[in-house]
Amino acid sequence: MRIYKVGGAVRDRLLGKPVTDIDWVVVGATTEEMLAKGFRPVGLDFPVFLHPKSGEEYALARTERKSGRGYGGFTFHASPEVTLEEDLIRRDLTINAMAEDDQQNLTDPYHGQRDLEARLLRHVSPAFAEDPLRVLRVARFAARYAALGFTVAPKTLELMRQLSESGELQALTAERSWKEISRALMEDQPQVFIEVLRACGALKELMPEVDALFGVPQPQAHHPEIDTGAHTLSVLEQAARHKQPLTVRWACLLHDLGKGLTPEEEWPRHIAHEFKGLKLIKAVNERFKAPKDCQELALLVGEYHTHSHRALELKPSTLLELLQSFDVYRRPQRFEEFIAACEMDARGRKGLEQRSYPQADYLRGAATAARSVAVQPLLEKGFKGPELGEAIKRERLKALKAYKETASF
């Protein structure tokens, strides 16, 4: 049996990037031999094992044939006769299809090293099409390595287009797609992920609600970039630049979906887009089974981002409603993330990237004022049940009125 390091570990070492997890391929072995050596099988019919000590993944060299739609439809053919080259040819990208033995001797039959130097994301062979998830993977790698100058090879983009048009992306499970989407959003240039998906027609398949934003104009006074799709990409770019967490990045991507529903005759205005967009945000959230905190924040940012931009003009009663909607008393972190997403929205506009956003501190101050209302004195006055709730609200409103009068913004 011969064991090689493969995939990301080889690629990232050659790129001079830190290697986090290592995948191994085992040539010339059977399942029985692996079990006898103490490796633990990952799944019943899946020729992947975990090392008894390191826990790293060891896969038997395999070829894959497709028997149906989607991931569940794969059949694996793993046997001791499968060669390293046969295994590598069915991998996604040439830069991921290199192997290294324990002496760091490189096996690179599909010229991954050449493509690393040429900064090209290129598929290895037509077997790329065996797994439609690779469309998302390539877009994710494009986002990750954009700063290094990587682009998708034109023929690979064409193959991604064919895969997208074939409808195969619809067969991907929510879990697999979300894993790629969430990882891509956390890259340094997440906007490139969306751009690449759009360029190959996958965005229309996966998130038609986001795709629909391209070509929709907004008023130039507030949006010098005009196009809503371009704005969304800039907001995402700002979110990455400011190292925002996944919840904020997801909310940034979806905050303006309602603008895609505006009838053309109303352009470039988008009356009530915040509210109209909610059903679209909900649909995208559910399609990918996004985690609850991402879902919630996206809906709240969608509904209230304009409130944040207009924070300094809001009446105390509207401010109070906003704070109540966020349950800012028990969920201060979520309110902070809301403010962050709105700030990214304000900065994701052409030429306005450096603008200040006093609304952020103003809203924080309002939250502090409302939160400072003590419940104990109201209890002592004998308030109970719904009346207590009303009394707390009245006191909070008073606190917000005083805040609005005294805050110097």
Report in angstroms how near the CB of residue 124 gets to ligand CTP at its nearest: 8
Q: Please tell me whether residue 47 binds ligand CTP under the rule CB under 6 A.
A: no
Cis peptide before 358 (omega within 30 of 0): no
Give the integer Cα–Cα distance in Å for 117 and 49: 33
Residue 2 is inside which H or E element, if any? strand 2-6
Stretch that binds ligand CTP, among 128-136, 152-160, 231-239, 337-345 (CB under 6 A): 128-136
Which residues in 286-317 are b (16+ Cβ under 10 Å) and which e? eebebeeebbbbbbbbbbbbebbbebeebebe
Q: Please tell me whether residue 168 binds ligand CTP under the rule CB under 6 A.
A: no
Which residues in 71-110 are b (16+ Cβ under 10 Å) and which e? eeeeeeebeeebebeebbbbbbbbbbbbbbeeeeeebbbb
Closest to ligand CTP by CB, 11 or 305: 11
Site string for ligand CTP, 63-82 (x = CB under 6 A): --------------------
Return phi, psi of residue 97, to 5°. -115, 40
Q: Rule CB under 6 A: choose which of 96, 191, 218, 234 binds ligand CTP.
A: 96
Report in angstroms how near the CB of residue 92 gets to ligand CTP at its nearest: 4
Report in angstroms how near the CB of residue 280 gets to ligand CTP at its nearest: 29
Q: Please tell me whether residue 91 binds ligand CTP under the rule CB under 6 A.
A: yes
Q: Please tell me whether residue 223 binds ligand CTP under the rule CB under 6 A.
A: no
Q: Please tell me whether residue 86 binds ligand CTP under the rule CB under 6 A.
A: no
Closest to ligand CTP by CB, 92 or 303: 92
Stretch that binds ligand CTP, among 41-49, 108-116, 132-140, 335-343 (CB under 6 A): 132-140
Q: Please tell me whether residue 187 binds ligand CTP under the rule CB under 6 A.
A: no
Closest to ligand CTP by CB, 97 or 344: 97
Q: Please tell me whether residue 131 binds ligand CTP under the rule CB under 6 A.
A: yes
Report in angstroms how near the CB of residue 8 gets to ligand CTP at its nearest: 2
Q: Please tell me whether residue 92 binds ligand CTP under the rule CB under 6 A.
A: yes
Which residues in 163-191 are b (16+ Cβ under 10 Å) and which e? bbeeebbeebeeebbbebbbbbbbbebbb
Q: Return the residues of window 9-38 that contact ligand CTP according to CB under 6 A.
A: 23
Give the integer Cα–Cα distance in Å for 196 and 157: 8
Class of residue 380 by CB neighbours under 10 A (exposed 0-12, middle 13-18, buried 19+): exposed
Stretch that binds ligand CTP, among 90-98, 205-213, 331-339, 371-379 (CB under 6 A): 90-98
Closest to ligand CTP by CB, 134 or 396: 134
Q: Please report, for residues 27, 231, 391, the alpha-carbon distance to residue 372 in angstroms, rounded to integers and kept in the order given.
A: 66, 37, 14
Q: Please tell me whether residue 8 binds ligand CTP under the rule CB under 6 A.
A: yes
Closest to ligand CTP by CB, 141 or 403: 141
Report in angstroms how near the CB of residue 157 gets to ligand CTP at its nearest: 17
Closest to ligand CTP by CB, 183 or 350: 183
The closest residue (CB) to ligand CTP is 8
- Closest Cα to residue 132, out of 67, 71, 205? 71
Task: Tell me the three state secondary structure of residue 151.
Answer: strand
First and final CA of the chain: distance in angstroms?
71
Give the integer Cα–Cα distance in Å for 383 and 376: 10
- Closest Cα to residue 5, out of 18, 24, 20? 24
Q: Please tell me whether residue 307 binds ligand CTP under the rule CB under 6 A.
A: no
Query: In the block, which residue shows the tokens 């190292």?
Result: 243
Q: Specify whether the CB–CB gap between 42 and 50 falls below 8 A.
A: yes
Q: Please tell me whether residue 133 binds ligand CTP under the rule CB under 6 A.
A: yes
Return phi, psi of residue 39, to 5°. -65, 145
Site string for ligand CTP, 228-267 (x = CB under 6 A): ----------------------------------------
Closest to ligand CTP by CB, 56 or 321: 56
Report in angstroms how near the CB of residue 137 gets to ligand CTP at its nearest: 6
- Contacting residues toward ligand CTP, per CB under 6 A: 7-8, 23, 91-92, 96-97, 131, 133-134, 137
